[in-house]
A and B are shown apart, each in its own frame.
Chain A
Amino acid sequence: AQSVTQLGSHVSVSEGALVLLRCNYSSSVPPYLFWYVQYPNQGLQLLLKYTSAATLVKGINGFEAEFKKSETSFHLTKPSAHMSDAAEYFCAVSGYTSYDKVIFGPGTSLSVIP
């Protein structure tokens, strides 16, 4: 069965500092991987997705993630944090067939300190 872990339920960074949010997945075959962002009292919005076309994926708002099969990881990064990046971030995994459900990680809350 597929699963997703996110190391660190809460991460704090200073404005302008590097953002690194960790995601590891468990799957017998390389899956599809996603990062979503959620602002307070709102739904989730897709940041980026990995679908095997390229291991380094660029998303919206300056975020990117790198798929590393050997480490079963899909960490999210941004070179310079902005105050508006403060939100909850979810990593998600899905298999290849229409029977595979999307499995979400528990989320990481990002705080940006001015």
Chain B
Amino acid sequence: DGGITQSPKYLFRKEGQNVTLSCEQNLNHDAMYWYRQDPGQGLRLIYYSQIVNDFQKGDIAEGYSVSREKKESFPLTVTSAQKNPTAFYLCASSFEKDRVKSPLHFGNGTRLTVT
């Protein structure tokens, strides 16, 4: 079945360490997104990519980095510069040419805890 796989589901890191969250999709979607979810704040866009080897900053990109070397993969690195990294991270994808009508498909998320 097609879908989005995020790994790991739970991740624990010490403060000051970089950590990379994995996101893989087999839906043949052009666009991929990373969202951060905090209680009571909804979803906030970190980065998005509409095509391979290209990506744009979202609303809260500081302290994060991404790459898009393959259509299927869009890993997110949470760097030590991110001041409050503990959160639930969601990866999503959609068809670019019909993005505004095409709904976002989400992975099941990675819960990152930094102590």
Contacts and interface: CB of A to CB of B under 8 A. Distances in A.
Interface of A: 9, 32, 34, 36, 41-46, 49, 51, 90, 94-98, 100-102, 104-107
B34 to A, nearest CB: 12
Nearest to B44: A104
A107 B37 CA distance: 11
A98 B100 contact: yes
Contact of B42 (A43, A49, A90, A98): A90
Say which size band chain B's interface belongs to: 20 to 34
| Max count, chain B CB within 10 A of own CB: residue among A9, A42, A46, A102 | A102
A41 B109 contact: yes
Contacts of A95: 100
B100 A43 contact: no
A94 B42 contact: no
Given A36-B104, A41-B109, 17 more contacts: A32-B100, A41-B9, A42-B108, A42-B109, A43-B92, A44-B90, A44-B92, A46-B103, A49-B103, A90-B42, A96-B100, A97-B100, A98-B50, A101-B45, A104-B43, A106-B40, A106-B41
A105 B40 contact: no
Nearest to A10: B40
Q: From DSSP, what is the main secondary structure of chain A's interface residues?
A: loop
Given A42-B108, A43-B90, A101-B58, A94 B100 contact: yes
A43 B108 contact: yes
Contacts of B92: 43-44
A25 to B, nearest CB: 14
A98 B99 contact: yes
Contacts of A90: 42-43
A100 B108 contact: no
B68 interface: no
B109 A43 contact: yes
Contacts of B101: 32, 49, 51
